[in-house]
Amino acid sequence: MHELALMAELRHLAEEAASREGASRIHRLQLRIGSLSGVDADALRSAFAVVMADREPGDGSGSIDTQGSTLELEVVRTVCFCADCQQEFAPSDVIHACPRCGALSTQVLRGRELELVALEVS
Amino acid sequence: MCGTCGCERPHRLIALQQSLLSRNNAQAEHNRAHFQHHGLLALNLLSAPGSGKTALLEQLARLWPQGPVGVIVGDLATDNDARRLQAAGAQALQIRTGDLCHLEAPQVAAAFEQLDITDMTLLVIENVGNLVCPTAFDLGEQLRLAVLSVTEGEDKPLKYPALFQSADAVVINKSDLADAVGFQRQEALANLRSIAPRARVFELSARTGSGLEPLVSWLCQHLPVAEPHGPHP
C-alpha cells in the first residue's frame, strides 16, 4: 500500500528533474527496485497509473505532462556477503544462508534499491 | 517528429540514480542528530496490529527509570492509543495518518516539535500496525524494535523477513498465553534467528509485566550521551 506514497515521491523527483532540464513532458521512467525493498511490482504499476500515466495535463501541482508515460522496472536480486568465506552469494530464499558454509549473513550488498535511474523527456 | 510518440520535439534521456527515499532519509538523519543532541534514545516500534505495542508502551512508561517517556503514535484514525498512554504517565502525541500505512520522517519531525522533552530520555515512535510498509522508512531512530506475539504464529519472521531483518531487537509478547495457544517456542526462535541472526530477543508479557526488566536494561545501555554544549542540529 505504501507504493502510492512512493509513486507520489517519484512524481516529485521526476518533475523536479524535468523542470531543471527545461523539459515539459515525461515519456518514460526507469526505476530500479531491489527484491528486499519491500515493494510489490504490480502495486507499483497500479500506483504509477494513478499518479503518472492516467493523469490529465494540468491536473496537479506541476506543469510537466506525464500522461501516457511508461514505467520500466528493473528488479535487482539480493546479493549478500559471507564474512566467513569472504565471498558474495545470492541467497536462494528469505534466509540469507551462505551456500558454501551455511553461515547466516548479516550484510546485504544489493537488493534494497529503490531508485529512479533515468527519465526520457522532451 | 520524434518517431516514438509523434511529438514535435526530440526525446532525450536524463540519468538520475536518485533514491525514492532520499528526502525521507535526509529528514531522518536530521531527526537522529536532533534526538542525539537532546540526549534522547529514539525507538521505532513496529508490529502487526494487535500484537500489544501499546500495552508494552504502557509498561515501559511505568517502569522507565529516567524521566518521562515520550511517545509519538501513528494510527489510522483514532486517538485511543494516545489516551491509554497518557493514562500510564507517558507524554503521548497521536499522528493520525489517514490513509497512510506507515510513518515518514517529516511527520515525526513535526510531531516531535510539539512534545515537551524536559527530562525526557526515551522517545518511542509507535509505527502504524503493519509488517510491510513501515520497513523502508527510516524515521531517525537509534533502535528498531519489532514486536511479535505468541498468538500470531511461529512463521511470522519467515513471512515478513524484511521487517525482522531490519530490527535491532524483537520482543515476543503475550508469553502468558503461550501454553494456551500451543506456541512452539523453539520453532519461533529458530525462525527468528535464521532471519535476524543479530537481533536481541526479549520474551515477555506486557499484560502481566513479567520479563520486562531485561528489555528496560538493554534500552538503558543504549541511552546516548547528551551533548549539552554541542551545536544544535
Report yes or no: A117 at the B interface, CB cutoff 8 Å.
yes
Across B96-105, average pLDDT: 83
B232 lies in some domain: no
pLDDT at res. A60: 55
Task: Check CB contact of A37 with chain B, cutoff 8 Å.
Answer: yes
Whether B160 is covered by a domain: the verdict is yes
The number of folded domains in chain B is 1
CA separation, residue B100 to residues B55, B77, B104, B127 (Å) = 23, 10, 9, 11
Distance CA B67, CA B121 (A): 6
And the C-alpha cell for B142?
A: 537509534
Strands of the B69-75 sheet, one edge to the other:
B91-96, B69-75, B122-126, B41-47, B143-149, B169-173, B200-203
Per the CB < 8 A criterion, the answer to whether B233 and B37 are in contact is yes
Whether B101 is in a domain gets the answer: yes
Helix (H) or strand (E) holding B200: strand B200-203
Type of residue numbered A19: S
Residue B129 falls inside a structural domain: yes
Q: What is the distance between the alpha carbons of residues B5 and B138, in angstroms, rounded to a whole number?
A: 39
Mean pLDDT calculated for residue range B46-65: 94
- The residue of chain A with its CA nearest to that of B5 is A27
Residue B113: which CATH number?
3.40.50.300
Which of B2, B214, B37, B24 has the alpha carbon at shortest distance from B138? B24
Closest by CA to B58, choosing from B88, B96, B31, B34, is B88
Answer yes or no: is B3 within a domain: no
Is B12–A122 a contact, with Cβ atoms under 8 angstroms apart? yes
B182-208 as b/e: b if 16+ CB within 10 A: ebeeeebbebbebbbeebebbbbbbbe
Q: Is the pLDDT of residue B79 over 80?
A: no
Right CATH number for A3-76+112-121 from 3.90.79.10, 3.30.2320.50, 3.40.50.720, 2.60.40.10? 3.30.2320.50
pLDDT surpasses 50 at B175? yes
Are the C-beta atoms of residues A41 and A74 closer than 8 Å to each other?
Answer: no
Determine the average pLDDT of the residues in B162-190. 96
Mean pLDDT by runs of 10 across the 122 residues of chain A is 89 94 95 93 92 72 84 96 97 95 95 96 95
For residues B79 and A8, the model is more confident at: A8
**Residue B231 in domain:** no
Cα(B220)–Cα(B206) distance, integer angstroms: 18
Q: Could you say which of A2, A5, A119 has the minimum Cβ distance to residue B14?
A: A119
Helix, strand, coil shares, percent, chain A, to 5:
25, 30, 45
C-alpha cell at B155: 512463521
Mutate to test the interface with B, among A40, A78, A116 (most CBs of B within 10 A): A116
pLDDT in tens, B140-165: 999 999 999 999 989 999 999 999 99
Q: Any CB–CB contact under 8 A between B197 and chain A?
A: yes
* Cα three-residue angle B123-B203-B148, rounded to 5 degrees: 70
Specify the pLDDT at position A53: 82
Distance CA A114, CA A107 (A): 18
Range of the domain at B154: 22-220
Would residue B12 count as lying in a domain? no
Chain A and chain B share a number of CB contacts under 8 A equal to 101
pLDDT at B1 over 50: no
* Residues 6 or more apart whose Cβ sits within 8 Å of residue B208: B176
Mean predicted confidence (pLDDT) in B15-21: 95
A99/A82 Cα distance (integer angstroms):
9
Ordered by start, the domain boundaries in chain A are 3-76+112-121
Distance CA B61, CA B122 (A): 9
Residue B77 banded pLDDT, cuts 50, 70, 90: low
DSSP state of B132: S
Residue B130 lies in a domain: yes
Note the ipTM here: 0.89
B128, closest residue in chain A (CA to CA): A2
pLDDT for the residue B7:
65
